[in-house]
């Protein structure tokens, strides 16, 4: 693969059962056979697809949520696996039910799916959670230009919800390579703090 085959992408992965068909935040089924009129930024009308939402909630079971210790382990493993696959990643966050990453990945969807599948699998093995933790598939946003790259980088680093664990390749924020810095976690009001969890050995 040549350098021209790689593009910067903002990728998003959800915890299992955290975003079902009929979700109030908006949704799209596979190949867009069914989709809502809005998205997470502009939610659809409350009653839209209400029956579909109730159907899936009744049958899907409880959504997977990541405790703080799991967020740290998942983020660390995801970034390490991405590096082992020789893919550049410069920012990553893990919240209660989703992961965001900013990485240089193949342009072809099937190739991105393969890379993310390996990263998701490795992260799930490192997480202190029994059973499957990820929803199928992922979302991605291709980075259009340098400004878009900088804005996405700033969004991941500084504009996450409270409780989100944050990592970037900046020396002062690279706690994966330098655990003595302490893990960065978001507080309310977009403030950040450092925590020093007991490191889990990678397997």
Rounded-to-integer distance, Cα 63 and Cα 148, Å? 32
- The structure tokens listed for 189 are 């009001």
Low-confidence stretches of the chain (pLDDT beneath 70): 1-4, 19-42, 44-61
- The structure tokens listed for 3 are 């350098």
Closest CA to 6 of 99, 88, 90, 104: 104
Mean pLDDT, the chain, whole residue set: 86
Using an 8 Å Cβ cutoff, are 111 and 9 in contact?
no
First to last CA, the chain: 29
Closest CA to 167 of 40, 66, 105, 74: 74
Question: pLDDT tens digits, residue range 104-131?
Answer: 999 999 999 999 999 999 999 999 998 8
Query: How much is the pLDDT for 178?
Result: 96
């Amino acid at each position: 693969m040549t350098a021209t085959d790689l593009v910067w992408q903002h990728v998003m992965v959800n915890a299992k059962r955290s975003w079902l068909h009929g979700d109030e935040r908006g949704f799209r089924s596979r190949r867009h056979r069914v989709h809502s009129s809005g998205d997470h930024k502009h939610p659809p009308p409350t009653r839209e697809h209400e029956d579909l939402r109730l159907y899936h909630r009744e049958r899907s079971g409880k959504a997977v949520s990541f405790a703080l210790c799991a967020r740290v382990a998942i983020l660390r493993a995801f970034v390490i696996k991405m590096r082992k696959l020789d893919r550049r990643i410069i920012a990553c966050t893990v919240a209660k039910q989703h992961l965001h990453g900013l990485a240089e990945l193949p342009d072809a969807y099937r190739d991105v799916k393969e890379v993310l599948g390996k990263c998701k699998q490795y992260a799930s093995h490192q997480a202190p959670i029994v059973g499957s933790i990820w929803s199928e598939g992922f979302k991605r946003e291709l980075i259009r230009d340098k400004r878009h790259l900088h804005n996405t980088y700033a969004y991941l680093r500084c504009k996450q919800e409270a409780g989100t664990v944050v990592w970037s390749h900046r020396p002062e924020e690279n706690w994966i390579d330098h655990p003595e810095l302490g893990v960065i976690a978001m507080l309310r009001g977009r403030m950040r703090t450092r925590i020093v969890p007991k490191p889990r050995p990678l397997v």
